[in-house]
Structure 1
């Protein structure tokens, strides 16, 4: 598997990874991690640095069912793929012990559907003066216009299914654990 990577453009990284021929035969889901406040506390991320955690407005990963659900998080320091349960423990070790506005909500979308409908003009990465908040990827932006924030908005009725972390864990981590026994 080789997919292009650009820091701070997780949605585009996953958009490319979801098209990787090595993963095409397996069921795949794209997962947007956000919440109504757009402040999700995550550990184990490259951007966390020495403090060990980062607060993302959103983050995007790919799930692949390869004898159990595996997470492909290109920003995860624990390697990839990682079993869902492993990724959840490392990424959200304080679940239930942090203020509610930092708890994750997840939007899960079929990967092929995501590839068909996702578009970004990268405007979310522009500063008020028009400069880049982070260098853009060298490849063309996917699609025309942008619907990125519709995916991020976990309160909107849009693509996929929105769920809390316990529901996500029950659905994807339980299958991951049972298939690795």
Structure 2
């Protein structure tokens, strides 16, 4: 996960989002800058272990955000040098949690965000993606939604994407061992972060939820389909 400065953004709106699950400190979770995919992988595991999620992670969904050109603007990011917190990432990863009380207010866990932790999905979408701001096509975001139990079984990264052509680290890696999938795969991050417009769902339907639960790499949704998809998660 790396940044670019080739983006001009309008002034930020103020955030009034608040957590409804009680106070949770982001510092409780391991965070390595620029390794959002591993941060969220470990966050899912910890949410399961400490009782903040189902023990098998069935109420958790991992969302990879990128596009064909790997240029996506997100607001309220800790890595930003701007007052509005905008960053142009190549990709980003968050976790969306289904509410246990049956509420439609699903929650977003984003360790790189300055918004409340976690945030209501609707508030997070409004503040982080700013749908009312019309983006040029090269900045329009796509979303790969993967069920956490599937991701925790199959995801792998040997961090090769964070080395330059000479083999030097672009950003210092985590100190723990690289993540290896249960089947022995050592690297498949590209399968999650490489996007094509032809993958985007034509329509969000009940079968879309079944596809996410059963498919290794989930489904790809457009920005307008993200909340619609999670509205089907009951």
1:161 positional shift: 0.9
Q: Which residue does the alignment assign to 1:29?
A: 61
Higher Rg of the two aligned structures: 2
Asked if 2 retains the 8 angstrom alpha-carbon contact of 1:18 and 1:112, the reply is no
Q: Which residue does the alignment assign to 2:109?
A: 72
Asked if 2 retains the 8 angstrom alpha-carbon contact of 1:27 and 1:64, the reply is yes
Which one of the candidate residues 12, 16, 28 is aligned to 2:42? 16
1:9 positional shift: 0.3
Q: Secondary structure at the match of 1:101?
A: helix
CA-to-aligned-CA distance 1:66-91 (integer Å, 9 cap, x gap): 24310000001112100111111111
Q: Secondary structure at the match of 1:46?
A: coil
Q: Which residue does the alignment assign to 2:91?
A: 58
Q: Which residue does the alignment assign to 2:19?
A: none
Normalized per residue, the structure richer in strand is 1
Q: Which residue does the alignment assign to 1:109?
A: 146
Give distance in 2, aligned partners of 1:96 and 1:48.
19
Asked if 2 retains the 8 angstrom alpha-carbon contact of 1:73 and 1:80, the reply is yes
- Structure 1: state its 5+ residue gaps: none
Give distance in 2, aligned partners of 1:76 and 1:13.
13
Give distance in 2, aligned partners of 1:130 and 1:80.
35
Q: Secondary structure at the match of 2:112?
A: coil
Q: Which residue does the alignment assign to 2:195?
A: 154
Asked if 2 retains the 8 angstrom alpha-carbon contact of 1:95 and 1:103, the reply is no
Asked if 2 retains the 8 angstrom alpha-carbon contact of 1:23 and 1:64, the reply is no
Instruction: List 4+ stretches of structure 1 deviating above 6 A.
Output: none
Give distance in 2, aligned partners of 1:63 and 1:92.
15
Give distance in 2, aligned partners of 1:95 and 1:135.
36
TM-score, normalization by structure 2: 0.69
Give distance in 1, aligned partners of 2:145 and 2:41.
14
Q: Which has the higher contact order (CA 8 A, sep 6+)?
A: 1
Q: Secondary structure at the match of 1:138?
A: coil
1:95 positional shift: 4.8
Give distance in 2, aligned partners of 1:61 and 1:111.
11
Aligned: 1:142 with 2:200: no
Q: Which residue does the alignment assign to 2:33?
A: 7
Q: Secondary structure at the match of 1:48?
A: coil
